[in-house]
Amino acid sequence: MHPTHDEDRANLHRASFDAVPCLAQQDRHESARQLEDAECLVDELGLPRFGRAIRRYKIHADAPTEGKVVNQYPEFAQTAKSIDDYRAAALELMLIWANAATASS
């Protein structure tokens, strides 16, 4: 049985996410509406989140069994979008860190 949105909200309120942005994974076969609903929930809770979701690709599922992380994926046309999702998230995280360092100095 899946938790309701109210249960999700309660669970998220109990957790402490002050400095950790939420990162969503999106199944390529799910609707964009599901991702929008998840983003709205996180926004309503006032939690930080990345602007980009990580789409679920087969390579992400296979990588741990092959002992690979995203920066070790072969760069082929089939893997380009999966690599790009993580690059975009990494760039966003670096901007967050850079802005935090600028704000504190």
Residue located via tokens 């690709």: 57
For the chain, the structural domain boundaries read 5-104
Identify the pLDDT of residue 2.
52
Identify the pLDDT of residue 91.
92
Identify the pLDDT of residue 67.
92
Identify the pLDDT of residue 15.
43
Q: What is the pLDDT along the chain (105 residues), one digit of tens a residue?
A: 555 555 555 444 444 444 556 666 667 666 778 888 888 998 999 988 888 888 888 888 888 899 998 889 888 888 898 899 889 989 998 988 888 888 877
Q: Alpha helices, DSSP H only, in 15-79? A: 32-44, 58-66
